[in-house]
Chains A and B, each alone.
Chain A
Amino acid sequence: MTNTWQDIKNANLVIVMGGNAAEAHPCGFKWVIEAKIENGAKLVVVDPRFTRTASVADYYAPIRPGTDIAFLSGVIRYLLEQDAIQHQYVRAYTNASLVVKEGFAFENGLFSGYNEETHSYDRSSWDYELDEQGFAKSDDSWQHPRCVINLLRQHVSRYTPETVSRICGTPQDKFLHICGLIAATAAPDKAMTSLFALGWTQHSVGSQNIRTMAMIQLLLGNIGVAGGGMNALRGHSNIQGLTDVGLLSNLMPGYLNLPLDKETSLDEYMKTKQYKPLRPGQTSYWQNYRKFVVSLQKAIYGDAATQDNNWAYDWLPKLDVPMYDIIRAFEMMNNGQLTGYICQGFNPLQAFPDRGKIRRGLSKLKFLVTMDPLDTETSRFWQDFGPQNPARSAEIQTEVFQLPTTCFAEENGSLVNSARWLQWHWKAAEAPGEAMSDIWIMSGIFHRLRELYRKEGGAFPDPILNLTWKYTDPVEPDPEELAREMNGRALADLTDPATGAVLTKAGTLLDGFAQLRDDGTTASGCWIFSGSFTEKGNQMARRDATDPREQGIAPNWAWAWPANRRILYNRASADQDGKAWNPAKPIIEWNGSRWEGIDVPDYGPTVKPSDGVGPFIMNAEGMGRLFARDLMADGPFPEHYEPLESPVENVLHPKVRSNPVARVFASDRAAFGTPQHYPYVATTYRLTEHFHFWTKHALINAILQPEEFVEIGEVLAKEKGIEQGGWVKVSSKRGEVVCKAYVTKRIKPLLVDGKPTHVIGVPLHWGFTGQARKGYGANTLTPSVGDANTQTPEFKAFLVNVEKTGAPAA
């Protein structure tokens, strides 16, 4: 979230698209209700199904799964046609005026630089035209044909209301009504908030779905302001924390990139990370990258990381492929290239696409270690549970070690919520049975590994032998001690380079990442968390709910990264002179000598408005990007591509039907179905009664939603002779699910390119362990396809068939 949960109440328009906030985030959804009641806000829902969120919406429109970019590009076209944009904001704070270099092109569904053999782009043409000093050229008159706003206008011109309706199946009148509601928030004192979740990310174009709405928000001047923003509602209480500390296969803590094979030295690695300002006088905060990397290395390797050994750069793993994500991991497992798997707090047999492939992969392992508080399906993949898990145990040689762990309520620690708050929690109960904390288990594995390396040497013992492990209790380091390590401390006296005066004494916990250095005198395990545990104590444990102006900031409740800032880009909440766009809900304003307000400024606190420093300080040009330069794998502008499994051609460019750079392995491509055999569009999702695959282990949740079902519209049900509550078989090229049918008015056939298209809803909660009734699992059906940028699987749009059937054998 750029903003906070509480801040949603400041919105004038709440749009829920690519998510189902009421259903999946019922507690946070109270702020939407608050916006409606206290702020007179309207709630708009765009979703293939009439969801629980839609049940309390002011306006609902249906959409075919996987066509959000077409819808949103149509919105951009509408805003530009109607001139319903926040002009002053767009001109001053976005790259609308910057000139794109010659050579950039978009034709027949492809951007310039496409390589058909590698399925990837050479992105060098996706950039600005630079002047002699290396700054991007700008045309404030917006006359230049290659200035961003004109290229954008041209790019979206194809997305007329007719075309949007033809692709999305959304009736034109509903589409245009929503365009009108959105356009009204271009007024400087009006804000729209976008609430989304996995309904946008789990597509082959997931990142671009989100980007399209982000562009709309920039055009409306809704980024950085109260009640605005792009608000990703995370699907798990600590999934934000997972990404923050770098538990993605191509990242290190604090969103630092894991080095690539070709980056053979730290200097080589840093070459692509200089982030020289692209406009005069800009902050370009990533210029500090080296400080964050060196401080991280000091946290990992301590005294062993020195100037002489390039801060132990050689001990970091290097990527020979863009990333070793889960889709790749299971591909390798199936190919026999990955034979051991430590599966910590993860249930891939339920959670990852093409369940059959996951089961086959696990069956080929030499060993599998699972660490989980629950008896997961993954731990039991080898056991025959009937049709829901037809394993042939005798043929599986995988040795499985099932290690029960504590759950969050049985340990101290912090969770990072969607609003980037680090909230400390305290142990409430003893863990049952033999359960041990993840920290205890990981420490044990580390110590035994290190002992083996000490005794036996091995090919490359240095990264393990040199790891610093100076914890009070090395067997089970204390969570507070680990939190202090992530915050970081001074390793030597930090002095003022000008005067030589000591600013921070050696050993002191740092107040924030501004104190980090690249000379080895500071350590920080996760630079964005710096400030969370200072000499003043554990900031995450703060519980003061005081909220100045009652605007949903509550600065003394827990701690938010970065720097306890609650609303990102909040400089953009004020105009060029530093006055709030919306005087009723200011966040920070220029008081003549400094920026003041209810939040920590996302800006130099004393930088004068007249200096012309852009509010988007992380970007090299200081501006919000309507043109993404080379930062997206699949294009600097979003484009509608059909899901990899789709019932129709791409009406915009039939030759380039789907995202040309989506992640698809050849073996997975062979498992795609065609509309001839699988004519219906399916989408998967959660229900309020359950949390993923956990709560089916809890009796009350099992009572509230006991059994697997799919949702089918009345028209299709009638066509297929399917009765309410009757048994159906839903099949994809990859597998089949036999379950009950919920025949509903909430899913209507959509008219897509002149043809009625049926959508089938597949909730995902049931498996074969726990207290609820046994189910096949939605991932039995889903294709193994990754988003071009994040490799997130395409769970939200694929093809199935459905037939009436009888109950499965018990």
Chain B
Amino acid sequence: MSDLQSQDYVRRSASTLTPPSVRSHEDEVAKLIDVSRCIGCKACQSACMEWNDLRPEVGHFEGSYENPADLGPSVWTLMKFAEHENEQGNLEWLIRKDGCMHCEDPGCLKACPAPGAIVQYANGIVDFISDKCIGCGYCVKGCPFNIPRISKQDHKSYKCTLCSDRVSVGLEPACVKACPTGAIMFGSKTDMKHQAAERIEDLKSRGFDQAGLYDPPEVGGTHVMYVLHHADKPSLYSGLPDKPRISPVVGAWKGFIKPLAVAGIALAAVGAFFHWITAGPNEVTEEDEAEGERVLREADAHEPEKSP
């Protein structure tokens, strides 16, 4: 959404520039959503609209408490309600706040061809820099959680920023502040994992043997985590992916395009050779090359896998 200090970046879309990473001393943050104490009141949705000044249309009733009906360019978070009958025949109403998961390994950022349109900060937040967005929709394809939405008004992609503007000045995200039951917590990822462990213990004592933390390793973990009563079946919660995967399309794209990118790097190396001849050595090129190889390896690693 907003372009903060570039020194905050640890990743930047479609860029071979190495982020400076000077803020690597910063704690990685996380939002922890304890669905077992969420009452689905939508205060988070309301606060998100207030803080980010978003007003989607007044919609219609469409057969559930979910309103608006879907995430959108002006709907960055959405309560999802799933009626689930368990093995004992008892009803569970599983309510989950949906929105960007802020993956450690963000599929959107990987898929994005616009330089610097998607960035990841040292604190882990993945942010869209709107003025660099070209509206191609690759981030939508790249996201394993089906989160970003393209605006029909300005053809830019939008999603939850984890209130990067608030977090950068030491405030919690707006949804966290508004949550009346403390179901949404925010802090360092380490602290949030400790919090989650306590909650999971309590849930297990109440008969939820499969209670656990949702922090999927398939995307390197996420900076938005859930405490689930049924961590063995995340998909019960309105289709939260059991095993989120970055779409193979992104992998294929990387596989196809990356050799060209590497050829470009090689060309640059040739150019650099002449540069070296004329102006002396330039160390950045080597780092770029290493980064190119790393991305390539990762793309290969993802290629054989299928999306859920």
Q: Which residue of B67, B85, B93, B94 contacts A706 across the interface (Cβ within 8 Å)? A: B67
Binary B-proximity of A49-88 (CB < 8 A = 1, otherwise 0)? 0101111101010000000000000000000000000000
A740 vs B59: C-alpha distance when bound (angstroms):
13
Kindly state the separation between the CA atoms of A233 and B181 in the bound complex, as whole angstroms: 17
- Cβ of B39 and Cβ of A53 under 8 Å apart? yes
How many residue pairs link A and B with beta carbons under 8 A? The number is 113
B37 contacts the other chain (Cβ, under 8 Å)?
Answer: yes
- Smallest Cβ-Cβ distance to A748: which chain B residue: B91
Listed stretches A20-28, A267-275, A411-419, A521-529; interface member: A20-28
B 160-195 contacts with A by CB, 8 A: 180-183
Contact of A129 with B by CB under 8 A: no
**Known contacts A26-B43, A706-B59, A772-B58: does B95 contact A33 (CB below 8 Å)?**
no
A773's contact among B42, B46, B58, by CB below 8 Å, is which?
Answer: B58
- Chain A residues 315 to 365 lying within 8 A of chain B, measured CB to CB, are none
B9 to chain A, nearest CB (A): 33
A545 at the interface (CB under 8 A from B): no
Which of the 9-residue segments A236-244, A422-430, A560-568, A697-705 touches chain B? A697-705
* A37: interface (CB < 8 Å): yes
Taking the complex as formed, is B281 at the interface, i.e. its CB lies under 8 A from any CB of chain A? no
A495 contacts the other chain (CB 8 A):
no
CB <8 Å contact, B202 and A706: no
Contact partners of A700 in chain B: CB under 8 A: 46, 49-50, 55
Quote the shortest CB–CB distance from B236 to chain A (angstroms): 13
Classify chain A: how many residues form its interface, as a range: 35 or more
Contact for A30 among B45, B91, B93, B182, CB less than 8 A: B182
By the criterion CB–CB under 8 Å, are B83 and A706 in contact? Answer: no
**Docked-complex contact B61 and A704, CB < 8 angstroms:** no
Say which residue of B42, B95, B206 sits within 8 Å of A704 (CB atoms): B42
Residues of B within 8 A of A771 (CB): 58
Q: Tell me whether A33 and B181 are in contact in the complex, defined as CB-CB below 8 angstroms, given that A26-B39, A746-B83 are known contacts.
A: yes
The answer to whether B68 has its CB under 8 Å from any CB of chain A is yes
0 or 1 for each of B46-81: is its CB under 8 Å from A? (1 = yes): 100110000111111111110110000000000000
A546 at the A/B interface (Cβ < 8 Å)? no
Q: Which of A23, A33, A773 contacts B37 (CB 8 A)?
A: A33
- A707 on the interface (CB 8 Å rule)? yes
Across-interface contacts of A197 in B (CB, < 8 A)? none
Chain A residues within 8 Å of B45, by CB: 704
Mask, A173-215, CB within 8 Å of B = 1, is 0000000000000000000000000000000000000000000
B92 within 8 A of A: yes
Of A50, A53, A56, the residue contacting B91 (CB under 8 A) is A50
> Which of B39, B83, B92 has most A Cβ within 10 Å?
B39
Q: Is the CB of A29 within 8 A of B60?
A: no
Q: Are B63 and A703 in contact (CB under 8 A)?
A: no
Chain A residues contacting B46 (CB-CB under 8 Å) are 700-701, 704
Rounded to whole Å, the gap between the CB of A46 and the closest CB of chain B is: 14
Task: Give 6 new A-B contacts, CB below 8 A, not counting A29-B39, A60-B91, A700-B50.
Answer: A36-B37, A55-B94, A56-B37, A702-B58, A704-B45, A773-B60
For the complex of A and B, the 8 pairs showing the least CB-CB separation, nearest first, are A725-B63, A55-B93, A22-B39, A707-B61, A724-B63, A26-B41, A745-B83, A740-B61
30 contacts between A and B (CB under 8 A): A26-B39, A27-B180, A29-B39, A29-B180, A30-B181, A30-B182, A37-B199, A37-B202, A40-B205, A54-B93, A55-B39, A60-B90, A688-B42, A699-B58, A700-B46, A700-B49, A701-B46, A702-B58, A703-B57, A703-B67, A704-B45, A708-B61, A725-B61, A739-B61, A740-B60, A740-B63, A742-B61, A742-B63, A742-B64, A773-B58
